[in-house]
Structure 1
Amino acid sequence: MIEFDKISDFFSEFYDFKLSDERSYFDFHLHTTQAKRRGSLPFYLEFLKDKHHLIAITDHNEIKGAISVAEAGINNVPAIELACKDGFEILIYFRKLQDLEDFYIREVECRKHFCRMERTDKDIEYYLDVLVGRDCYLSIPHINGLAGHNYLQNKPYIKKILTRVDAIETYNHSLPKNRNINAQIIRRSYELDATFGSDSCTNRDIESFYRLLNQELRRQHKWMESLKLPLGSDRLYKPSSSHKGNSD
């Protein structure tokens, strides 16, 4: 189940529409061909043109895709999926494209590994320190993912990291249901917000996620109607504090 009600109000300034039963698309973990994926700008333009939407292009250690969709007028949260030296990946969202560009130039572009360009030469704790005080929002993707993306198993310092972020990605369309459920359990344990996304590799994955997303929205609306909740209570976000910064 996608946790629409656990999304932070950080994202609220990026859209001014209510959720609808159909033709809505929200995706906070999306890739483009700039990151050697198959989702392309022409496809996104065609796919989103008749939909209420809010997306975040989160290419690995790259922002060309995020800049391209912004210039094309697509409703996009400036973001990046930062891949660190230690193999830890984190989704970083900014309010302004300029803030994303500044962070990328200062802390990512110049630190890319000379032979592994999808990693930097600094670990996750370095970046958490650097991000303290910046107007950004942090979410851990695929926390219970496959192989190296299963941080619960292969990152012994994961509990410390969990105290320094704002959210956990509790639905990743590329993962089995049980792994997403486990991410939701961890989110509740640490009282964090939730993000969700397709983590798409192909256009087909995006279309599949769109169908699931709207099934979940319809189910939520039926639940709200059964409770007779007031009009306007179906906003995507909820109040939330900014990321925790340094844990010391």
Structure 2
Amino acid sequence: MIKFLYINLFIILLPYVAYASDINLAKNNYYMLMKDNLSEQLLQTKEGKLLVTELDNLIFLNQDKIVLWGCDFKQIKESWEDINKQLNQSGFFKDYDNELKKYHLTFRNFIKVYTNNRNSLSNICNSSDHMNIILLDNNNLMIPYEGELIFFKRLSEEQENNINNYHNNVKCLETKRVDMDITDICYYQNMTILDVYNAMSFEPSNLFRKKIKIGEDFSSIYEDDDMKVEVEYKWKGKNKLEIVQYFDGGVTYYTFVNQENRTKLITKLSPD
């Protein structure tokens, strides 16, 4: 029950966490974690697994700002000579020498360097240690963390456009609450069922882990260290998809309905 409420509360709060900054969604670039580059040593520790869970969300890059965990990372505008000096003084090149050699990277591969804004309204940002995010010349993002380099790959232009449409072309009705049930109804203009589903699939908390096709029903069980979820996908013709997720403490229902040039999404959270 507690896990169910925590997961679904996170779903409700996510837009306010991820978009706390004054960013123009139409110009967002998105990056996702490159899990294949993570070391086995990191993945074998409890702290490492927790870190991967925290990082397994889209990073937003908007002009001179990156948004991660609701925290703004501002581009360092100083000269490259000064940036190089700062990184040297912080011990970056010494601490990450082996990692940089492993990936054949030098300072010349750095395009931009961003650092967390300690004056942000985000408590997470203000309480975290000094942290850098580096844009590389291959258009990947790199985060140095406790002796390891963690990489994020930019999504395709088609995926970025779809996610931007998802956030820009939505109109939601007022949330309905009956007893403990919570129901949201949103309309996504000029988007198909697959468009909306695919955009939502990049948010891990939605648990949309499978690529879907119209008319393809299936069921599965997802088991993680702290969670077990049974999922069912059922199509009602080609214009309606019902997804049910059974948690230990409740059920989440998603109903997608294609209506001419828009998709209606009904989301119902029903704790036991």
Q: TM-score range by the shorter chain?
A: under 0.3
| TM-score, with structure 2 as normaliser | 0.21
| TM-score, with structure 1 as normaliser | 0.22
Q: Which one has a bigger Cα radius of gyration?
A: 2
